Chain A
């Protein structure tokens, strides 16, 4: 199978969906020149009526997308950086996400919000390095965080076709990564996790950019005779609980590896689900490896210290196994 970069996979997905459905329009900052690369070439192919460079008005263009969607369009909104979600928060969670319910189920609000370059990118400090998906999930927003080029294309396409608001986080660390992507048409449905590596001693549930890290860790552990299973939820809401719970029931040990804040973070939610549903299978306490609850600091050693890392994961896995075998 051909290999393309994660970023190219996103770009292909958007182009294909714009060809497929004339209602798909793109709204965001610097999308015509494509600062982030996802929207490259779209202006030439689809013309100025389908792709809009906006002023620096994140709340405004988020609301614009909601209104356009209620009136029949299918907008894709690009946030140039992850933290712009905070600027647009009322329009995202209090308007786009709530309106259908509050209107008694009237209408549809099919907007896709793409966050290319989410998470930390080395040296961008506290206002450009967030992964704020727990806040959105808390408010009921559908969220996907694909970890491979194949998943990125399939989930982005599914998100655009979904008749509800969906946020797609495309982690900065993954954008240049190459991987196999089918040439033929496909989508990956929301709500389906994937076991990225099978194992029997412990389960690592890894999110987004941490999936490749977990896979490398599993490889190193294999050399030590430890068999780690890596589960990638891919879609954080809706969540494929069954795939996670089946893995935990099989291995009896679980480590949650997530690049969002610790308190009320995504790992906390996963831990609660596992404790409620698979308590009897657990042979050891659930472990969480997350970000620290501080803004991501600028200086490289400081930044590395607060983010979840492969080295810490390795140590945690060894400890988890040693403790429960003792």
Chain B
């Protein structure tokens, strides 16, 4: 079942599980906290897609850059984001990654190469290209990864970014997480090709479709693409075929919006990487997943406690940080 074409040692295999489990349980905790009104606003859970962020980011170095999406918690955790500061941000607390300015859709940590989740579909793609151009000019072998979904694949600026990366051979990996739906719109009605990776041909770059429910397949494909990029071989479009088990956003269920059949969801559930992968680990005698689970629970417990005890920012801080170079009277206040 598991495709292993890039070797990983035991620690690596366990790390993949730990990260996926962390993402899954993080998202489940987030839903609880949203339902308890401890998190304001809207969150978009990554449940079902864990193998993608995990497989991709495991193939990256700490100094590589990612740009993420509105459904970004998984990418940020997989790139090394601290769950304590993430939950604090989701709660709007001062200890949050963005000091309470961004919330769920905007978590960033430049020191980890996380150039931000983004509230506008596809907007991170050209930003990743810029990071890649800088890496090239500084003669480093850093790479950048732009995450976007099947919906983002139809955004104009993503097309522009793919072309820019191709003509300049930028060290970028475009990861299209095809979860089948742009909110409620099935990709089969929004694109006339079945495999979005075939669009790569039109840009003159390699394109590959992988099983986004198989963390080792994602890791393997990413490793090859990243090696090519680091070696000056230019960008790759990697389509990861995946599924979200939950709604587009937390409140969707309560609104009774239904655009997928129960059968379809159940069918994808049989391929849940949080079921299949730990079963494989156990079967192969690599580890006892229950131990990892306990570790993850403890970490999240501590993260939630940290976020809860963190104070809210002082209201007047709302006017800070807009400019690196401030001037008197800027930004204007509304009174």
Q: Which of A25, A106, A164, A190 contacts B110 (CB 8 A)?
A: A106
C-alpha gap A77/B143 in the complex (Å): 23
Residue of A whose beta carbon sits closest to that of B98: A104
- A182: CB under 8 A from chain B? no
Which residues of the partner chain A approach B168 to less than 8 Å between Cβ atoms?
Answer: 52
C-alpha gap A106/B116 in the complex (Å): 10
- Asked whether A25 and B123 contact (CB < 8 A) given A63-B157, A99-B116, the answer is no
C-alpha gap A140/B324 in the complex (Å): 13
Of the stretches B75-83, B101-109, B217-225, the one at the interface is B101-109
Q: Which of B96, B134, B161 contacts A68 (CB 8 A)?
A: B134
Q: Which of B102, B160, B325, B327 contacts A60 (CB 8 A)?
A: B160
Q: Is the pair B324, A164 in contact by a Cβ cutoff of 8 Å? A: yes
Q: Is the pair B100, A69 in contact by a Cβ cutoff of 8 Å? A: no
- Asked whether A241 and B329 contact (CB < 8 A) given A59-B157, A63-B157, A67-B131, the answer is yes
Q: Is the pair B133, A64 in contact by a Cβ cutoff of 8 Å? A: yes
Q: Which of B98, B115, B123, B164 contacts A57 (CB 8 A)?
A: B164
- Asked whether A90 and B322 contact (CB < 8 A) given A70-B131, A102-B102, the answer is no
Q: Is the pair B130, A102 in contact by a Cβ cutoff of 8 Å? A: no
- Asked whether A94 and B331 contact (CB < 8 A) given A55-B164, A60-B163, A99-B116, the answer is no
Q: Which of B123, B131, B327, B331 contacts A90 (CB 8 A)?
A: B123
Q: Which of B100, B101, B130 contacts A67 (CB 8 A)?
A: B130
A-B contact count (CB 8 A): 153
Q: How far is the CB of B70 from chain A (nearest CB, A)?
A: 13
Q: Is the pair A70, B127 in contact by a Cβ cutoff of 8 Å? A: yes
Q: Is the pair A107, B110 in contact by a Cβ cutoff of 8 Å? A: yes
- A266: CB under 8 A from chain B? no
B91-124 contacts to A, CB under 8 A, are: 96-102, 106, 108-110, 115-116, 118, 120, 123
- A49: CB under 8 A from chain B? yes
- B129: CB under 8 A from chain A? yes
- B156: CB under 8 A from chain A? yes
B220-257 contacts to A, CB under 8 A, are: none
- Asked whether A103 and B323 contact (CB < 8 A) given A54-B164, A62-B126, A140-B331, the answer is no
Binary CB contact string for chain A from 181 to 210 against chain B (1 if under 8 A, 0 otherwise) = 000000000110000000000000000000
A86-118 contacts to B, CB under 8 A, are: 90-91, 94-95, 99-110
Q: How far is the CB of B147 from chain A (nearest CB, A)?
A: 14
C-alpha gap A129/B127 in the complex (Å): 29
- B137: CB under 8 A from chain A? yes
A44-95 contacts to B, CB under 8 A, are: 49, 52, 54-55, 57, 59-73, 75, 90-91, 94-95
Binary CB contact string for chain B from 243 to 287 against chain A (1 if under 8 A, 0 otherwise) = 000000000000000000000000000000000000000000000
Q: How far is the CB of B194 from chain A (nearest CB, A)?
A: 26
- Asked whether A63 and B108 contact (CB < 8 A) given A49-B137, A71-B135, the answer is no
Q: Is the pair B127, A60 in contact by a Cβ cutoff of 8 Å? A: no
- Asked whether A95 and B128 contact (CB < 8 A) given A54-B164, A60-B163, A103-B108, the answer is no
C-alpha gap A71/B137 in the complex (Å): 11
- A237: CB under 8 A from chain B? yes
Which residues of the partner chain A approach B67 to less than 8 Å between Cβ atoms?
Answer: 67
Q: Which of B97, B125, B137, B167 contacts A104 (CB 8 A)?
A: B97
Q: Is the pair A67, B110 in contact by a Cβ cutoff of 8 Å? A: no
Q: Is the pair B110, A55 in contact by a Cβ cutoff of 8 Å? A: no
B312-327 contacts to A, CB under 8 A, are: 320-325, 327
- Asked whether A59 and B130 contact (CB < 8 A) given A64-B164, A104-B97, A238-B327, the answer is no
Which residues of the partner chain A approach B134 to less than 8 Å between Cβ atoms?
Answer: 67-68, 71-73
- A162: CB under 8 A from chain B? yes
- Asked whether A68 and B164 contact (CB < 8 A) given A100-B323, A104-B321, A105-B320, the answer is no
Binary CB contact string for chain A from 143 to 171 against chain B (1 if under 8 A, 0 otherwise) = 00000000000000000001110000000
C-alpha gap A75/B99 in the complex (Å): 28
C-alpha gap A6/B12 in the complex (Å): 60
Q: Is the pair B137, A73 in contact by a Cβ cutoff of 8 Å? A: yes
C-alpha gap A62/B330 in the complex (Å): 24
C-alpha gap A105/B110 in the complex (Å): 11
Residue of B whose beta carbon sits closest to that of A269: B332
Binary CB contact string for chain A from 276 to 320 against chain B (1 if under 8 A, 0 otherwise) = 000000000000000000000000000000000000000000000
A-B pairs, top 8 by smallest CB distance, nearest first, are: A67-B130, A63-B126, A60-B160, A105-B321, A71-B134, A104-B99, A68-B130, A57-B160
- Chain A positions near chain B (C-beta within 8 angstroms): 25, 49, 52, 54-55, 57, 59-73, 75, 90-91, 94-95, 99-110, 140, 142, 162-164, 190-191, 237-239, 241
Q: In the complex, given contacts A67-B129, A110-B324, what are 18 additional A-B residue pairs having Cβ atoms less than 8 angstroms apart?
A: A49-B137, A60-B163, A63-B129, A64-B130, A71-B65, A73-B137, A95-B127, A100-B324, A101-B321, A102-B108, A103-B102, A104-B96, A105-B99, A107-B110, A108-B324, A109-B324, A190-B327, A238-B330
- Chain B positions near chain A (C-beta within 8 angstroms): 65, 67, 96-102, 106, 108-110, 115-116, 118, 120, 123, 125-135, 137-138, 144, 156-157, 160-161, 163-164, 167-168, 320-325, 327-331
Can you identify 13 A-B contacts, CB atoms within 8 angstroms?
A: A63-B127, A64-B161, A66-B127, A66-B130, A67-B115, A68-B130, A71-B134, A95-B120, A100-B323, A103-B98, A103-B116, A105-B320, A238-B330
